[in-house]
Amino acid sequence: MTNLLPGWARAKVGELVDVQYGTGLPVRSRNTDGDIPVYGSAGIVGTHSAASVGEPAVIIGRKGTAGAVHLAEGPSWPIDTTYFIVPPHGVSARFLFYQLRFLKLQKLDSSTAIPSLRREDLEAQWLVLAPIAEQERIVAAIEEEFSRIDAGLAALEKAQARLEALNRRLLEDTIRSWWLRGHAKRLCEVAAIGTGSTPLRSRGDYWTGGDIPWITSGLVNLPTIEQAGEFVTPRALEDHRLRLWPAGTLLIAMYGEGRTRGKCSELAFSATCNQACAAIVLHPEFAYLRPLVRLFFEYNYATTRRLASGGVQPNLNLTIVGQLEIPVPDARTVESATKVLLSARNALRRVSDEGARLRLRALSMRSTILRAAFSGRLASQDPRDEPAYALLERSRIKRVPSTGRKGARTTVNEGG
């Protein structure tokens, strides 16, 4: 153990506080007109008209999101997938909350199926305790630093939202200008459109050792398909009359009730596909329309999905896809507009990448701040503060008898 600062104390969770089980509260039994937050292991899961805990409490995930730590600043109802701690005299609820988060309790998961945290493992964790006045100074310093991080991330998210809005408006204006400057043609007039099939899974000679990429509609969620998940053999290609689509082919997902149906992607290599994809190969004289067609499907994604027909699971089909009307302006118009859109999207991508990098850095910074806080390097010490170990000794913190175990006097290590 590292040396403690003067006035600080160290004790195990189970020696310092009482870890109690939450109380079950089925959804059907909750009064949602109430304003008492109901906590599950992942946080607030609803409201109720009554509280099972009337004081501020630190709530810890027991099952499910095991080890997650939440702070209820007023009355609450922690359910039976949680533990809760009502901080005793001399322990700030926020100080305890931040310290338990710093301990990364998720690493204590002891399950093989549903993530779970055993109470004895939680109670065995070591905590440090500063004088109560210093706890408040530490909490204030933590929250000041966290607020700065949050402000920076919020500014970045606003910038990203503005860029996304700009991209949407630019796409809308581009499509509109293409309609104004071009004439309408059906997709089947400017491209060859086909599909594929799924070779029999029971035929090993269709799959084993195959080296021909076989694309399913799930991959169409990607802007560009750069690798296949499955491969078929030349025998499968011949027996099922599968067409090998060239690089640059646009694939439209025709099936799926989720977000996949209506998505458009481009093949980066030659491949065949299953029957859930429509393959679009533009005629040579219309090859310059490839970026236009991709942007057309992106812009009309919701409209295209609504064209699906069928009963339980509506689908698109080759006829619907082929009858779609697209604008056909001249090549120069398509090229210039595409360059502008590409530039805007590259700017958005850079901001998004920077945002992802800064969010990772923010996680690291929060951890560094908490480490400094609980080693006494974030807030000032005041020799006039009553030592933490004196508070503990005077109050003789005990566990609540309702846990079914006898209380035990706190054992502490003192700093000085």
Residue located via tokens 């599950």? 40
225, 265 Cβ separation under 8 angstroms: yes
Reply yes or no on whether the pLDDT at 330 is more than 90.
yes
Give residue 379's pLDDT: 93
Amino acid at 99: Q
User: pLDDT tens digit string along 168-224?
Assistant: 888 899 999 899 888 999 999 999 999 999 999 999 999 999 999 999 999 999 999
Ranking 148-162, 264-278, 387-401 by mean pLDDT, the lowest is 387-401
Phi first, then psi: give them for residue 251, nearest 5 degrees.
-110, 130
Question: CA-CA distance, 187 to 301, in Å (whole number)?
Answer: 15
Closest Cα partner for 219 from 257, 253, 258? 253
Amino acid at 180: L
Q: Reduced to 3 states, what is the DSSP secondary structure of residue 20?
A: strand
Q: Reduced to 3 states, what is the DSSP secondary structure of residue 326?
A: strand
User: What percentage of the chain has pLDDT greater than the value 90?
Assistant: 69
Residue located via tokens 């694939």? 251
Q: Give 99-135 as a 3 state SS string.
A: HHHHCCHHHHCCCCCCCECCHHHHHCCEEEECCHHHH
Pick the residue with more confidence: 167 or 46?
46
Question: CA-CA distance, 23 to 50, in Å (whole number)?
Answer: 12
Q: Put the strands of the sheet holding 69-72 in their side by side order.
A: 20-21, 82-85, 57-61, 69-72
Give residue 156's pLDDT: 85
Question: CA-CA distance, 66 to 113, in Å (whole number)?
Answer: 12
Amino acid at 242: L
Give residue 413's pLDDT: 67
Binned at pLDDT 50, 70 and 90, residue 406 comes out as very low
Beta pairing partners, 266: 224, 250
Q: Reduced to 3 states, what is the DSSP secondary structure of residue 331?
A: helix
